[in-house]
A and B are shown apart, each in its own frame.
Chain A
Amino acid sequence: MATSTTGDPSRRKFTINKKYLPYLLSLPALLTCIGILIPFFTAVAYSLQRYRLSQPWAQKYNWGENYINFMTDPSFWNTLKVSMTYAFVTVGVELLLGLGIALLLQKRTRFNNFVSIMLLMPLMTAPALASLMWKLMTNPGFGVLSYFAETIGIEDMRWASDPSTAMLTVVIVDVWVYTPFIMILLLAGLRSLPRQPFEAAELDAVPRLFVFWRITLPMLTPFLLTATLFRVIESIQQFDIIYAMTQGGPGDTLTVFQVEAYLNFFQSTNVGRSAALLMILWAITYFLSNIFIKNWLRLREKARGGA
């Protein structure tokens, strides 16, 4: 303070305290996370190395080689393709389904509230356990879904163990677990929309489809965007469901980024390649999460009364 003149010794102590107090409060949380940040930089280093756990003596920097190798590596392109397919299909289906359910349950009735809470249960199920549940239901021997498939004429449906239906199976599990996430966010969004435009549209007898496209959807966009980005970021990193269901198989049908990196690390002990794969995944999610956080912040401010 510019004009203060008194030299009260107790004052100095206070000034220091006050200046450092916020850091004092947030430092423990920060340190905890910084401890975990160190491995991140290690991973960057690994991704630039030739490093196999089975040949520790041969560990050395080969700089961009791991990345350059990806260019000509069909299994990398497969990983990219599978990850993208998985992310787009799951989020696409979940978005449509979630929006549909949210619209169905939009009215605040007891029944609708009850249904929306029930529908949250899959989301509360650990994804790994959800995979187990579906595994039990799709077991070729006794699975109830295999039986259903048979009754509608699909003979010998082998679900996750057949390369042609493996993707379908894990997508179903993902849709089962995560649709409620989109549904509940959009439902909260729908219910928070101002009423006047809808009442006005109704008075003017505007066709409902038109209301949906021109009023509901535009106003819901921030929620749609936040939910979608959130899910894309998570879905492109999906591990639990796929690993618990097939461990990436059969063959390399489902070797999405994290599964492939996990297998590279623990089975082929190729640390360098594994780290490089994860770095690419990180770059994708970092890009997406930056867009996400901007939208998310806007929503958050609105929810907090625009403060």
Chain B
Amino acid sequence: MQKNSNLENVLRGVAITAIILFFMFPILWIFLMSFQTNETILRVPPSPFFEPTLTNYRSLISGKLEGSTATLEIAFMSNLYNSLFLSVTSVTVGLILGVPAAYAFARLKFRGSEDIAFTLLSFRFAPPLLVLLPLTIYFQQIGLADTYGGLIWVYQLIVLPLILWIVRGYFEDIPADIEYAYRIAGHSFWATFRKIALPLAGPGIAAAGLLAFIFAWNNFIFALVLASADKQPVTVGALAFITASGINYGQIAAGIMLSIAPTFALALYAQRYLVEGLSLGAVKG
């Protein structure tokens, strides 16, 4: 496109290298750390060369940390399980609630539809604590405190707007004529929704689900405020982990790696949809 001088190419290369270094180094370093014992981690100067070991992962998965003084029982795997359970259930609930609503907003323009859609969107931007703090008191009263059900309900605050606005865009992209054609051919509204709208918006629904999963998984504040230790996801659990005494740094690193691996994998899998999801459907990648 433009004639690049050599100097410019060099500068470009340096800039890209620096950027990759800044953004990738922490992940790489923690990854390396997760295969080390305290002995090599505490070396000065730090070095990327060491004898890799799987003990950190092994003890995390078994739930028994061999500390220097005693064996420590830790609940990392149950945190991981909580993350998985909370995210999967929240997304499932979010899809069941959000997809029909998205269809209504996309196809059936009704009185107040835009207002409602924007109200749902505005939850995305309100300070979460504003709702969470009074909720702790309410949840005590109605018996939802420290239950998965209560958490999943609150998770809808992040999951629903995302699903609603992305899926709505996909429904809007289906030409109305295709749905009309199916109706005219003799099929009911519901049959058309199931057999035409859902399959055609399928990729978008799947992408919205995956993104919602990532957001739910990465959430910290909801569970911090509302969940006790046995319901906590990894984001909160890992924090408690680092302050616990007698833990190997390598084990913390291994815990972090295990906690971020699922979202990385999903992000890679759904990369085509990431831009659209992150911008809530405003920008197509």
A interface residues (Cβ-Cβ under 8 A, vs B): 21-23, 25-26, 28-30, 32-33, 35-36, 38-40, 42-43, 46, 100-101, 104-105, 107, 115, 117-130, 132-137, 139, 141-142, 144, 147, 151, 176, 179-181, 184-185, 188-189, 192, 198, 202, 208, 223, 226, 230, 233, 237, 239-240, 243-244, 257-258, 261-262, 265, 271, 274-275, 278-279, 281-282, 285-286, 288-289, 292-293, 296-297, 299-300, 303-304, 307
Interface size counted on chain B using CB atoms at 8 A: 98
User: Is A304 in contact with B264, judged by CB distance below 8 angstroms?
Assistant: no
Q: Can you list 28 residue pairs at the A/B interface with Cβ under 8 Å?
A: A22-B108, A22-B110, A25-B100, A26-B105, A26-B113, A29-B120, A29-B160, A30-B116, A32-B97, A33-B157, A36-B131, A39-B131, A43-B134, A104-B15, A118-B24, A121-B267, A126-B263, A129-B234, A132-B239, A147-B44, A192-B283, A237-B127, A258-B128, A274-B129, A288-B125, A292-B125, A293-B121, A303-B276
The DSSP consensus for interface residues of chain B is helix
Q: How far is the CB of A71 from chain B (nearest CB, A)?
A: 21
Contact in complex: B279, A29 (CB < 8 Å): no
Q: 1/0 per residue B91-121: CB within 8 Å of A?
A: 0000011101101110010100100101111
- Docked Cα-Cα span, A19 to B126, in Å, equals 32
Q: In the complex the two chains form, is B126's CB within 8 Å of A40's CB?
A: yes
Question: Which of A119, A278, A281 lies at the interface centre, i.e. has the most chain B CB atoms within 10 A of its CB?
Answer: A278
Across-interface contacts of A288 in B (CB, < 8 A): 125
What's the minimum C-beta distance from B253 to chain A, rounded to whole angstroms?
6
Q: Is the CB of A239 within 8 A of B129?
A: yes
Cα A30 to Cα B283 with chains together (Å) = 25
Residues of chain B lying within 8 A (CB to CB) of residue A33: 119-120, 123, 156-157, 160
* With A22-B104, A137-B29, A293-B118: A120-B274 Cβ-Cβ less than 8 Å: yes
Residues of A within 8 A of B129 (CB): 239, 258, 261-262, 265, 274, 278
Q: What 3 pairs across the A-B complex have the smallest Cβ distances? A: A126-B218, A25-B104, A39-B134
Bound complex: CA of A212 vs CA of B192, how far in Å?
A: 49
How many angstroms between the C-alpha atoms of A133 and B27 in the bound complex?
A: 8
